[in-house]
Amino acid sequence: MYRFAAFAFLLFVGVVFHQSHGIEVNVTDKDKLCLYAKLQLNFTVSYEGNQTIHTNSFKLPENATTDGSECHDNSSTLKLNFGAGHSWSINFIKNGESYHAGLVTFIYNLSDTSYFPGASSNKTMNVSRNASITDVELNTCYSCNSNEMISADQVNMTLSNVLIQAFVINGSMSENITVCAADQPVIPTSPSTTTAAPTPTTPPTPLPTPQTGNYSVESNASVCLLANFGLRIGFKLNQKYHEMNFNPVGANVFGSCGFDSSELMLESEEMIVTFTFFNDTKKFHLHTLNVTVNAGFGFNEVKTNLSLWETNIGSSYMCNKEQNSTITDQLSLYTFNLRVQPFGVQKGVFSTAEECFLDADLSFLVPIAVGVALSFLIILVLISYLIGRRKSRTGYQSV
């Protein structure tokens, strides 16, 4: 992203904004503007009808309200409410001299027939995903005319013609703009004929064991998801492999709990990691992993249809040993002292744990080893006895 003066930006794209049919909102705190947003947002939602799957597309209406929007020193939330119990929200986190978006959450009520005609359920659904708005300098507006699609379960959300300032200073919008990467012009570079001399490489210093973090998600004032683990991410970027530990100190924890899926999002200064768990009524497992590494790398990788950490509903999954899971060719996940329960948490504590194979192997290998040693000893005693008996009988015969 890059910055430049707002008047030049408006001369260039002002017509686009005036012709768009989006929503423009001002969030105030103590009668001062603290968050400004102008955007277009389209939804496509698939849902169950009577013996068929329906898909409906609709736009965020211009008369959406901002009840629930908040401004704080280091975080802010834009919440847009519409229809009979629907809302779309995005939270922003300040990080030094910049800010970035965290979790996008869409709550929709299937009983609202104006948006979901023919739905067989009247449930209120909740989906969350990460946004790709990163590294926005403070006292600038984030601008992105290009479409950004955010997919979550049965929902596609498409943002476009976005102009947001999440942290307005002294009640006045900034005249500076941070433009998203998708809107930036691509400048071709001429091929270089200079061949750089190879530089000697040194083996990377092994990382210490990552610190164990204790995380929880609440719903309706009660804990619905628990997770404790140390976390390390391995990723390949530009043919070079990197590893980074997740630092739980000061990390932001977001998430949501549902009947079929639950989500845990962890955000530190260096990375954002989102775990999505699925429930098939008998077992749960980690289904989707979404990793974004900031810290100057600009790495992002998403993998769905995983089957990690599978455990019976009503239990927690535990693995104290280091687990190394290859997620994709570009991404590896390392966990330490892992214990997780995304469904069925009672009274805010973990249920009985089902151990991973790595933890359980010693518990059954030790008795096996003892049994083998005892069997071997018995065989030795028996052989010695037979040899001694045979020698005794040979001695009697010689007399």
Tell me the per-residue pLDDT of 125-174, one tens digit each, with 9 for 90 and over. Answer: 988 888 888 889 999 999 998 888 787 778 888 888 999 999 999 999 99
The C-alpha atoms of residue 40 and residue 24 are separated, in whole angstroms, by 9
Q: What angle do CA 247, 253, 256 make, to 5 degrees?
A: 145
Sorted by sequence, the CB contacts under 8 Å of residue 309 that are 6+ apart come out as 284, 285, 286, 317, 319, 338, 340
Sorted by sequence, the CB contacts under 8 Å of residue 234 that are 6+ apart come out as 241, 242, 243, 331, 332, 333, 334
Q: SS3 breakdown of the chain: % helix, strand, coil, rounded to 5?
A: 15, 50, 35
Q: To which residue do tokens 């009274």 refer? A: 347
The C-alpha atoms of residue 32 and residue 264 are separated, in whole angstroms, by 34
What is the pLDDT, as a whole number, of residue 3?
A: 52
Percent with pLDDT over 70 in the chain: 84
Q: To which residue do tokens 């507006």 refer? A: 141
Q: Tell me the average pLDDT across 109-123.
A: 92
What is the pLDDT, as a whole number, of residue 152?
A: 76
Q: To which residue do tokens 């329906």 refer? A: 54
Strands (E), 60-193: 70-71, 75-82, 86-95, 98-109, 124-130, 136-137, 141-144, 148-152, 155-165, 176-179
- For residue 361, how many C-alpha atoms fall within 13 Å in the half-sphere facing its CB? 5
Backbone angles phi, psi at 101, to 5 degrees: -85, 145
What are the tens digits of pLDDT across the range 206-215? 899 999 999 9
The C-alpha atoms of residue 225 and residue 217 are separated, in whole angstroms, by 5
CB 211 within 8 A of CB 247: yes
Q: Which two tokens stand for residue 215?
A: 């995380």
Domain ranges of the chain: 23-183, 212-359
Q: Which residue has the higher pLDDT, 160 or 386?
A: 160
Are domains 23-183 and 212-359 of this chain identical in fold?
Answer: yes
- Alpha-helix runs per DSSP H in 177-333: none
Q: 232: closest CA among 271, 260, 197? A: 271
How would residue 365 be classed by pLDDT, with cut points 50, 70 and 90? low
Look up residue 197 and give its amino acid. Answer: A
The C-alpha atoms of residue 271 and residue 277 are separated, in whole angstroms, by 20
What is the pLDDT, as a whole number, of residue 7?
A: 35
Q: Give the chain's end-to-end CA distance (angstroms, integer).
A: 105
Mean pLDDT over the full length of the chain: 84
Q: Which two tokens stand for residue 331?
A: 């991404």
Q: Domain spanning 23-183 has what CATH number?
A: 2.40.160.110
Is 70 exceeded by the pLDDT of residue 5? no
Please provide the DSSP assignment of 352-395 as one string.
PEEEPHHHHHHHHHHHHHHHHHHHHHHHHHHHHHHHHHHHHHHH
CATH topology assigned to domain 212-359:
Porin (2.40.160)
In angstroms, what CA-CA distances link 151 with 45, 103, 106, 145, 263? 10, 12, 11, 19, 14
